[in-house]
């Protein structure tokens, strides 16, 4: 008998669909309360760091270069007080086959899917991950479907998302484009069930462990070139996998590097609201994902997300859309490197943060991404204007998401705004208690301390206020 395919029926089967399509029994890590065994789940990848590196190298992923941005460093030093202005570097992940670090996540996921005997893979993303999965699936001889949240109710799509759809199709994927709203997850589940394909989720242990090679590789390259680890690594933070995987790789290398998350400030805009979906001017690394996924990782498309950024974040800063557009142009005109907005989000933050550090320190932007027609500054700004967004030069602190984009009239106006990590940690603890509706056990309290990179005393102090 055919299964019912209405929304409620499909959503009621999501646990069963996920288990079958990922090959992980998430219940085996659960405690029956708030806590779960995160490290045991990560070991379920079944691959050591060395095995992951071997898999990635066999499909031309990794070994990307470190590039020092001497001219941008010089500009930062002009804006800093004497003796300050750390050396700024990028790890050029655009050199991967699909043009972003997400090739590392996709390589492991697709390898695992083929190893398990799946005939194809499905992923839900409007970002670079779709292109990465399409690229790796093509190499592996697997089918690929990318489900993409693309349009508002009027059928208008952002140039960056449309560009990524073009990239996915060019790499052989079938792209299913949807309007903003709950339809995305429903359609994703339905496709997994109907095709029997592997769920190449961004948030499985396979995907996150794939990024560990990036952090490890970065550390090894710096030690070889400079005899030390970088002082600061800045990671663009959205769903949290980028920061989580990179940090775990640095830890495996034994690096004592400070980890900074960076997002574009889109406060006040609701990512799932049809009327606001196109009010943001690019889709990458913004607070609409960065904040909710940091404070509650398990909102993803698997029962337990392997991306848990608050476990690893030492600092979290935001910058503005105008800052990112400015740094995108600066990178091209001063360094001769044309890259997309994902890494340039972290670059804008790194430019500001470098001015806080002495000249002998080193700060790294751990990713770049490819650029293309829809990712360039001009089509994005033209799209913004067509949506009633005012664009002008001035002080970025006057930027109001959804109303204007303020391009800095001078580079000294680019500032990184610190977010309150303790507030985010408290939010995660509150959400955990409200979600599971239990009195936290000692095991839960220890787990929450790890989740928030704090200690038992901090967790108990928050619990006492609930």
Pairing between β-strand 87-91 and β-strand 362-365 as defined by DSSP bridges: parallel
Output the CA–CA distances (angstroms, integers) from residue 356 to 84, 226, 363, in the order listed: 7, 21, 11
What's the DSSP call for residue 30? B
pLDDT in tens, 207-264: 999 999 999 999 999 999 999 999 999 999 999 999 999 999 999 999 999 999 999 9
Output the CA–CA distances (angstroms, integers) from residue 431 to 207, 356, 441, in the order listed: 25, 34, 16
Q: Give the confidence band of 168 by pLDDT, cuts at 50, 70, 90.
A: very high
Q: Compute the C-alpha angle 280/284/289, nearest 5°.
A: 85
Nearest to 376 by CA among 324, 426, 422: 324
Q: Which pLDDT does position 179 carry in this prediction?
A: 84
Output the CA–CA distances (angstroms, integers) from residue 89 to 68, 203, 343, 351, 389, in the order listed: 4, 28, 11, 10, 33
Q: Which pLDDT does position 16 carry in this prediction?
A: 87
Pairing between β-strand 258-264 and β-strand 232-236 as defined by DSSP bridges: parallel
Say if residue 434's pLDDT is above 90: yes
Question: Can you list the alpha helix ranges (DSSP code H) found in 28-69?
Answer: 38-43, 49-58
Say if residue 310's pLDDT is above 90: yes
Q: Which pLDDT does position 279 carry in this prediction?
A: 81
What's the DSSP call for residue 440? P
Q: Could you list the beta-strand ranges (E) of 191-270.
A: 198-199, 232-236, 258-264
| Distance separating the N- and C-terminal Cα atoms of the chain | 48
Q: Give the confidence band of 81 by pLDDT, cuts at 50, 70, 90.
A: very high
pLDDT in tens, 23-66: 888 989 999 999 999 999 998 877 899 999 999 999 999 999 99
* Domain coordinates in residue numbering, the chain: 55-98+206-418, 421-464
Q: Which pLDDT does position 432 carry in this prediction?
A: 97
Tokens at residue 112, please?
């695992």
- Which CATH number is associated with domain 55-98+206-418? 3.40.50.1100
Pairing between β-strand 120-124 and β-strand 198-199 as defined by DSSP bridges: parallel
Q: How far apart are CA 7 and CA 133, in angstroms?
A: 27
- Region of poorest pLDDT, from 140-154, 252-266, 324-338: 140-154
Q: What is the 3-state secondary structure (H, E, C) of 276-329?
A: CHHHCCCCCCEHHHHHHHHHCHHHCCCCCCCCCHHHCCCEEEEECHHHHHHHHH
Q: How far apart are CA 440 and CA 116, in angstroms?
A: 38
pLDDT in tens, 401-412: 999 999 999 999
Q: Give the confidence band of 69 by pLDDT, cuts at 50, 70, 90.
A: very high
293-296: long-range contacts, CB 8 A cutoff, minimum separation 24 = 293/238, 293/239, 293/240, 294/237, 294/240, 294/261, 294/424, 294/428, 295/424, 295/427, 295/428, 295/431, 296/427, 296/428, 296/431, 296/432, 296/435
Please give the mean pLDDT across all residues of the chain: 94
Q: How far apart are CA 445 and CA 457, in angstroms?
A: 9
Sign of the alpha-carbon dihedral angle for 43, 253, 420, 202: negative
Tokens at residue 303, please?
């029962």
Q: Give the confidence band of 127 by pLDDT, cuts at 50, 70, 90.
A: confident
Q: Which pLDDT does position 161 carry in this prediction?
A: 87
Nearest to 431 by CA among 251, 298, 238: 298
pLDDT in tens, 182-213: 787 888 899 999 999 999 988 999 899 999 99
Say if residue 1's pLDDT is above 70: no
Q: pLDDT over 90 for what percent of the chain?
A: 77
Say if residue 329's pLDDT is above 90: yes
């Amino acid at each position: 008998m055919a299964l019912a395919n209405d929304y409620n029926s499909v959503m009621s089967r999501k646990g069963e669909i996920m288990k079958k399509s990922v090959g992980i029994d998430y219940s085996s890590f659960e405690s029956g309360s708030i806590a779960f065994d995160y490290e045991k789940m990560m070991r379920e990848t079944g691959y050591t760091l060395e095995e992951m590196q071997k898999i990635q190298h066999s499909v031309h992923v990794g070994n990307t270069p470190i590039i020092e941005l001497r001219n941008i460093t010089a500009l930062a030093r002009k804006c800093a007080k004497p003796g300050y202005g750390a050396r700024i570097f990028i790890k050029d992940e655009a050199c991967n086959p699909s043009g972003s670090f997400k090739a590392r996540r996709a390589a492991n996921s697709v390898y695992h899917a083929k190893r398990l005997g799946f005939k194809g893979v499905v992923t839900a993303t409007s970002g670079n991950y779709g292109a990465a999965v399409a690229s790796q699936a093509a190499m592996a001889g697997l089918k690929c479907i990318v489900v993409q949240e693309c349009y508002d109710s009027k059928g208008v799509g952002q140039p960056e998302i449309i560009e990524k759809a073009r990239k996915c199709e060019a790499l052989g994927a079938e792209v299913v484009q949807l309007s903003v709203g709950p339809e995305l997850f429903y359609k994703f589940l339905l496709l997994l069930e109907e095709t029997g394909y592997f769920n190449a989720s961004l948030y499985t242990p396979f995907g996150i462990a794939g990024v560990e090679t990036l952090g490890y590789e970065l550390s090894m390259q710096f030690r070889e070139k400079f005899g030390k680890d970088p002082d600061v690594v800045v990671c663009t933070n959205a769903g949290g996998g980028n920061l989580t995987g990179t940090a775990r790789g640095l830890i495996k290398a034994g690096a004592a590097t400070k980890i900074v998350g960076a997002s574009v400030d889109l406060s006040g805009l609701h990512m799932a609201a049809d009327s606001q979906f196109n009010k943001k001017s690019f889709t990458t690394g913004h607070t609409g994902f960065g904040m909710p996924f940091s404070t509650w990782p398990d909102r993803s498309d698997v029962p337990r997300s392997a991306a848990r950024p608050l476990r690893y974040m030492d600092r979290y800063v935001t910058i503005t859309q105008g800052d990112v557009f400015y740094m995108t142009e600066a990178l091209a005109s001063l360094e001769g490197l044309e890259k997309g907005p994902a890494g340039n989000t972290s670059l804008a933050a790194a430019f500001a943060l470098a001015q806080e550090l002495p000249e002998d320190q080193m700060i790294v932007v751990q990713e770049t991404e490819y650029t293309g027609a829809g990712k360039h500054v001009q089509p994005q700004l033209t799209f913004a204007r067509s949506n009633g967004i005012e664009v002008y030069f001035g002080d970025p602190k006057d930027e109001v998401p959804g109303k204007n984009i303020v391009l800095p009239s001078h580079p000294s106006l680019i500032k990184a705004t610190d977010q309150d990590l303790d507030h985010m940690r408290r939010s995660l603890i509150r959400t955990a208690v409200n979600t599971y509706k239990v009195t936290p056990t000692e095991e839960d309290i220890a787990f929450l301390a790890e989740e928030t990179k704090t200690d038992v005393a901090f967790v108990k102090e928050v619990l006492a206020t609930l």
